[in-house]
Structure 1
């Protein structure tokens, strides 16, 4: 998806005439990253279908609260207000970061499309261009995700991992001001904001396993008649991969405070591979398991990896993390 977002609820710039049809109302959070992502989706939909799209800004509780995600209800706090707007008919569809969607399917709503996935990697943004190995003992590294906290502590138990909240500007600002030595962010977010060059190190998924759904966008609607139109944005290999990851997460029944990673890859040979991770927040212990299956049964693969992790003691690790 490419394109520039509308900032004020107006139709996306460059949209062709809608042929007399009203513009579709796309609900989005108002952060710079959310607007960039929604603008990309809007531009792609207009290019594919000719329908004009306008962005409708929705403020979620997750945007206004400064409490830790584990204290305010987890990832759902970023999507509930958008879903309420869908139920109320205030918007026609919504775009979410897929990793923010709870795994339980909401009644009456449809996941109409999953965009082609961007980079799944996490990155380090550090002062003086440093990489993780270059940070001195006791360096303060910020992140808001329990998964990243656990993996950082596994990789560098001598660091001080600091929980933080805020948008990309706020988080990188902690580094620029000297409050923190580094922060860990998603590469996809920096790329969508045109700020990829600010990363001082890109972690491979083998080093820092991403969050289930990381790098993909979810398009959700209520009106079934819109599904064929929105489905033009769907990318089947990405949908298969994230379905496996999210199924694993659902079977694990992992809460937002549990460090869980998941990364699936759909190969050209119709084989889907999935790696799952469960750890303690302290980083003292982690379990990782990889399996492969058919791309036509991502749910089965997700269940298999989750059950393998549970058989090895994942439930106990998640209880320690709660």
Structure 2
């Protein structure tokens, strides 16, 4: 095992611990899920390049604050501290959940790689092994995502949506302790933690589309660092990058942040003349009563154009007005 862990204060000295060789300092959030994701990246990078790596835990505003994400601005609350550490030279590589990234490109930072994506769907963890549809009227379902709230409300199940924050353990504990009847989580996170069997239902994207970029990781480096090319060659997955590019371009064109009630999922599918991209998207009012749903297909080698054209169709149908609505109080 070549991956070690160091405090941010010790990062500068440990990076030079091996004379003549580089130790790649990987910035990660401190949660169990983030560290699991970053360790996987570190191990793969070492396996494929021979580089020695170490994890540098960094606390972000989103980890410290207990405010709802939407009240904190949503976009970038888990990202900015890692990017600042990159630009200051305290870490060499930052590992993010791609769905947390703002859509605007950051100055001085490159998206070096998007590794193969995990299953992007949402799951339910409910008491007594129940599915969402089996929960009784008035059952309490925890989620902090406006996207999930709007889409579940649109199903008309009569459940009560409750805003929650916290890591996977914290959220599932609210079900185990009887505080909530169910919570909705990303399947990718549960799978990476080895806890996917705790899900009582996997939600069909026909009912609940995932967040743009959900299930994928984003590996960022300083744009002028030779490490960009090394990480790209070792870890980037072209089909995954194409899919998440469609989703993120759509999000950017809709001018919606990562906490907006927008779902999107792009996949590589067989077309008439070979592989192509197929994408489904939805923009909803906060209460789920109104929605604009569209799908489109396009060339695998031009995800930007596909994302823009689908967004243009949705904007023409009033998607921006739905996204900008405020939740009822």
Does 2:275 match 1:274?
A: no
- Is the contact made by 2:2 and 2:52 (CA closer than 8 Å) also made in structure 1? no
Q: CA deviation at 1:280?
A: 1.1
SS of residue in 1 equivalent to 2:293: strand
Corresponding residue of 1:246 = 248
Structure 2 residue 318 is the aligned partner of structure 1 residue 303: no
Mark the CA change 1:314 to 1:305 in structure 2 (over 3 Å): closer, same or farther: same
The answer to whether the 8 Å contact 1:153/1:283 transfers is yes
The yes-or-no answer on 1:293 pairing with 2:321 is: no
**Is residue 2:228 matched to residue 1:227?**
yes
Q: 2:115 matched to which residue of 1?
A: 115
Work out whether residues 114 and 219 of structure 2, in 8 Å CA contact, stay in contact via their aligned partners in 1: yes
8 Å contact from structure 2 (residues 295, 310) kept in 1: yes
Task: Indicate the SS of the match to 1:112.
Answer: strand
Rate the CA distance shift 1:160–1:5 in 2: closer, same or farther, 3 A: farther
Look up the SS of the partner of 2:75 in the other structure. Answer: helix
**Shift, 1:141, TM fit:** 0.2
Do the aligned partners of 2:102 and 2:258 also contact (CA within 8 Å) in 1?
no
Contact 2:2/2:46 (CA < 8 Å) preserved in 1? no
| Unpaired segments ≥5 residues, structure 2 | 12-17
Partner of 1:66: 66
Aligned residues: 315
Q: Is the 8 A contact 1:242 1:264 kept in 2?
A: yes
Query: Per the alignment, in what secondary structure is the counterpart of residue 125 of structure 2?
Result: strand
4+ residue stretches of structure 1 with deviation over 3 A?
3-11
The alignment partner of 2:147 has SS state of helix
Q: Distance in 2 between matches of 1:105 and 1:262?
A: 20
Separation (CA, whole Å) in 1 of partners of 2:29 and 2:39: 11
Partner Cα separation in structure 1 for residue 247 and residue 156 of structure 2 = 26
Please report how far the alpha carbon of residue 258 of structure 1 lies from its aligned counterpart in structure 2 after TM superposition: 2.4
| Contact 1:5 1:40 survives alignment (8 Å) | no
Displacement of 1:207 after TM fit? Answer: 2.0
Residue 190 of structure 1 aligns to a residue whose secondary structure is helix
1:252-271 aligned within 5 A? 252-268=254-270, 269-271=274-276
CA distance in 2, matches of 1:185, 1:5: 28
CA contact under 8 A between 1:69 and 1:256: conserved in structure 2?
A: no
Instruction: List per-residue Cα deviations over 1:90-148 (Å, max 9, x = no partner).
Output: 00010000000000000010000001000011000000100111100000000011100
Deviation track 1:75-94 (CA, whole Å, cap 9, x = no partner) reads 30100000000010000010
Q: Is the 8 A contact 1:245 1:302 kept in 2?
A: yes
C-alpha change, 1:137 and 1:41, in structure 2 (3 Å) is: same
SS at 2:264's partner residue?
Answer: strand
Counterpart for residue 15 of structure 2: none
Report the 3-state secondary structure (helix = DSSP H, G, I; strand = E; otherwise coil) of the residue aligned with 1:292.
strand
- Measured in 2, the distance between the counterparts of 1:300 and 1:288 equals 18
The alpha-carbon distance between structure 1 residues 166 and 6, as it changes in their structure 2 partners (threshold 3 A), is farther
The TM-score, its normalising length taken from structure 1, stands at 0.94
Shift in Å, 1:23: 1.3
Aligned partner of residue 178 in structure 1, secondary structure: coil
Distance 1:180 1:26 in 2: 36
Query: How do 1:91-106 and structure 2 match up within 5 A?
Result: 91-106=91-106
Check the 8 A contact 2:5/2:56 in 1, yes or no. Answer: no
